[in-house]
Amino acid sequence: MMNQVAILDILPDHVDGVRDFMIFGHFLEHFHRQVYGGVYDPGSRLSDENGFRRDVIEALRKIKTPVIRWPGGCFVSAYPWKKGVGNRLPYYDKAWRVEEPNTFGTDEFVGFCREVGAEPFICTNAGTGSPEDMSDWVEYCNLEIGEWAARRSANGHDKPFGVRYWSIGNENYGGWEMGAKTADEWARLVLESAKMMKRVDHTIELAIASIPDLDWNAKALREAGDLLDWISIHGYWSRASNEGVFEKGYDNLIARAFEPEKRIVTVKHILGSLGYLDKLRIAFDEWNLRGWCHPNFMSFGAADHALMDANDINSNYNMADAVFTACFLNSCLRHCDVVGMANFSPVVNTVGAIFTHAEGIVLRPAYHVFDLFANHTYEEILHSALASPSFEVESDDGTSTSVRHLDAIATRDSATGRVGITLVNLHGADAIACRIRGLDASKFIQATMRTVNGAAVDAYNDVDQPDAVSISERRLTVDDPGDFTIKCPAHSVTVLNLNAG
């Protein structure tokens, strides 16, 4: 039924900011089937001469993937990158307690990014690694002279890779990470690492692993803030149980849709309090509604691949993932003044937006949301005011959370004047009408509505039903573009495009 109405007032003469397309980035880690059997599968008939899956590359090109972060993640905090170039030997990965084949390293990662058309973003080992290791990695990728540049050339790459984006560490604030640090230890390591890395190549953009905590950031930024460009934060909001079981309730999941925005705002205030609001930007460089399934992670038991396999099934990923993803991206757009990059975690498999199998790929619901945002929203963020009703969600512990029925944001193409309005209906059962006001009625002659939706909240795509959740498209006649109403189906993500005449 539809008895609820939201109102979106747009002020087209007031531009809040300009988005950075890097918010549509992705992340790749050496975990389960992300690399081997995921993006890299030399034995597959679907792979190219470099071993990269052509269907994955095509899918990532379609959503214009701008940047890919690699190699971790927890994996990187004991990653001996120098053993991953030139002659290779398998080694034991202490993060995930498996044998790492070591056939996919820096050369392969950069090559994969080049085929996708994405910028490589390398996260360095700040766990067991040293500032010298990190700066040598920059040398290997970006210099024409020096020992490591010569080794890159000997490995078949005469020209520097020119990797622009780098991060010092992953989650070194956490006890689960190898090489975890105190705030004082972290600040000193960041200073020495940033110093050496930028002495190798002063043009790189450098991030550091962080959390929304004033003390952690204050010490690092006071030591090395002038050498940094980004502050990296992570977020997962639904985790598998010890038995590897994901939450199933749509309402419980969607109640967390705006928690990423709270995290952004907290970090924004921290940057402001330390005097870095206009100097550093946020890279939300690991994020997903669902956390990874990694049983025995903090124990000494072996990796449980059966549980990992059981969670890498397509029925786990449904319209809750699509709606959450859209709200996350809307939050990044609303805070485009400070959020300059985000990396969906991960690129393929695990809890990713693309699932690979021997005969092809499945595009999970979140993938189609990236398709909408990357291809049908624009760079200018128009000032808007949304009045939306809310609904109550009861959690398992008996508490109640009020959730906004509709989320919305308006964007515009500065060159053509086209407008893209994103409308996210969070309610699992009820449609909602959105009245849109304020656009110049004389400028628009054509409207197109594209919607990601499924028959139910638990609709999902799979090998035998690849389009159960997909993008529907229809042209609209809008009698008065200055004041009109759009119907948003339950549990849906819509982008309405208005073309200027």
Say whether pLDDT at 246 is over 90.
no
Q: Which helix (H) or strand (E) holds 199?
A: helix 183-200
pLDDT tens readout for residues 269-318: 999 999 999 999 999 999 999 999 887 666 666 677 788 888 899 999 99
pLDDT tens readout for residues 346-363: 999 999 999 999 999 999
pTM here is: 0.97
What is the number of domains present in the chain?
Answer: 2
Domain boundary among 376, 410, 433: 376
Tell me the average pLDDT of the chain: 95
For residues 71 and 141, membership in a common domain is answered with yes
Say whether pLDDT at 497 is over 90.
yes
Say whether pLDDT at 479 is over 90.
no
For residues 370 and 389, membership in a common domain is answered with no
Tell me what pLDDT residue 2 has: 55
Domain boundary among 376, 408, 440: 376
Tell me what pLDDT residue 300 has: 65
DSSP state of 414: T
For residues 343 and 393, membership in a common domain is answered with no
For residues 10 and 37, membership in a common domain is answered with no
Rounded CA gap, 455 and 22, in Å? 32
**Ramachandran angles phi, psi of 109, nearest 5°:** -60, -50
* Mean pLDDT computed over 53-69: 98
Could you give the 3-state DSSP secondary structure of residue 375? helix
For residues 400 and 453, membership in a common domain is answered with yes
For residues 359 and 394, membership in a common domain is answered with no
The residue range of the domain holding 488 is 5-14+380-500
Taking alpha carbons only, the member of 335, 264, 364, 352 closest to residue 26 is 352
pLDDT tens readout for residues 129-180: 999 999 999 999 999 999 999 999 999 999 999 999 999 999 999 999 999 9
For residues 421 and 357, membership in a common domain is answered with no
Domain boundary among 355, 376, 397: 376
Given pLDDT bands bounded at 50, 70 and 90, which one contains residue 332?
A: very high
Identify the CATH number of the domain in which residue 345 sits. 3.20.20.80
Strands, E, within 47-149: which ranges?
67-70, 91-93, 98-100, 119-124
Given pLDDT bands bounded at 50, 70 and 90, which one contains residue 459?
A: very high
Identify the CATH number of the domain in which residue 445 sits. 2.60.40.1180
Say whether pLDDT at 397 is over 80.
no
For residues 40 and 10, membership in a common domain is answered with no
For residues 369 and 400, membership in a common domain is answered with no
For residues 344 and 209, membership in a common domain is answered with yes
For residues 431 and 405, membership in a common domain is answered with yes
Rounded CA gap, 241 and 265, in Å? 29
